Amino acid sequence: MSVDPVAFLERAVEVPSHEDVDAMRALLVEELADAGVEARVDDAGNTLARKSGAREGPHVVLNTHVDTVPPHVRPTRDGDVLRGRGSCDAKGPLAVLLSAFLDADPARGTLTLAVTPDEETDSTGAHHLALDADCYVVGEPTELDVCTSARGRFQGTVTCAGTAAHAAEPDSGVSAIQGAAAALRALETFDAERGPDGHPSLGAPTLTATTIEGGAATNQIPADCSFVIDRRSVPPETADGFFAGLREHLRAAVPADVDVAVDPQARTTPFLEAFATPRDADVVRALCGAGAGDPRPFGAATEASYFARDAPTVVFGPGSLADEEGAVAHAEREYVDLREVETGARIVTDALGALLG
């Protein structure tokens, strides 16, 4: 029933999955079939497989994704290091979870492998899942630490509208750029006046303007100006609560003759919100007891956000988002230490034994 996680990972990194995931999903389904496990692909493109014990017990879900960011980078191996697109984000974690899933023999409860197709873009697969689990392990590069929390990420556009006029007669118009300047200054006071308190493990939220555009001519008072904001949230802030609060805050700060609107980024799925799992949750204790690193926050937003609404959720896997030289995940130099892959598979297997034995 088992699979060599390193051998599977080498095959997986060969398969491009930055434009579509059909070939990578087929490889996963074939690997499960070769091990005697029937998998199904649901309407949202999720790959699902399940094992059940003879007695009642918890429902544990192992989740990660098969898509990668572009471009595809062919794998190369140097001793215990495998380089290539997806080697750590997230085909390395997938190899760990697949190996543990196939090695598991639940005496009680249910074990589900749920692999999503579009984590790097819209997360329609994760949003579609309704698994009613008791805990989730989400595969991402954490250097084999148990990550029990992560900030959320919201994006929106602030638009200020004034009245166009000749630049030689500025008082005859209303400058949208001046309104935007007031709105930008107000971003700096938002959290002190309306934001959530700092989180014990995640710290304070952040709110940053990232791009700006406005004006139509160099000799005209601008009627429109807009800028994009990036919000990294902490519990218990929700997307709806944040945008409602920001609208009120900016309206109070911007001159009355300038219209101001705050529009969330158009999405077909909910924003990835912040989450935090208690350190004494069974899934945390099981992974730490099996040799995983101490609990800490995860450095990026993940689909764990969706699952944490349902049950205690942790992020775990081999590889790192960045090292002392710079970015690893999503970078041209993406790599994973294969010894971490083997160790990670053993840790998850032992943790499943504690949860479902």
CATH number at residue 158: 3.30.70.360
Quick check: is 269 in a domain? no
Instruction: Find all residues with CB under 8 Å of 26, minimum gap 6, and list them.
Output: none
Bridging pattern class, strands 152-161 and 108-116: unpaired
* pLDDT per residue as tens digits for the range 222-240: 999 999 999 999 999 999 9
Tally helices (H) and strands (E) across the chain: 9, 20
User: Which DSSP string do the residues of 30-98 spell out, in sequence order?
Assistant: HHHHHTT---EE-TTS-EEEEEE-SEEEEEEEEEEE---PSSP---EEETTEEESTTTTTTHHHHHHHH
Predicted model pTM: 0.91
Q: Verify that 25 and 172 share a domain, yes or no.
A: no
- Counting as low any pLDDT under 70, the low residues of the chain are 1
CA-CA-CA-CA dihedral for 52, 53, 55, 58, to nearest 10 = -60
Burial zone of 32 (CB within 10 Å; 0-12 exposed, 13-18 middle, 19+ buried) = buried
DSSP single-letter state for residue 256? T
Domain end among 264, 289, 317: 264
Quick check: is 35 in a domain? yes
Identify whether the C-beta of residue 147 lies closer than 8 Å to the C-beta of residue 209. Answer: no
Q: Verify that 195 and 146 share a domain, yes or no.
A: no
116: enclosing H helix or E strand: strand 108-116
* Structural domain boundaries, residue 252: 152-264
pLDDT of residue 1: 55
* pLDDT per residue as tens digits for the range 108-143: 999 999 999 999 999 999 999 999 999 999 999 999
Identify whether the C-beta of residue 279 lies closer than 8 Å to the C-beta of residue 201. Answer: no
Quick check: is 297 in a domain? yes
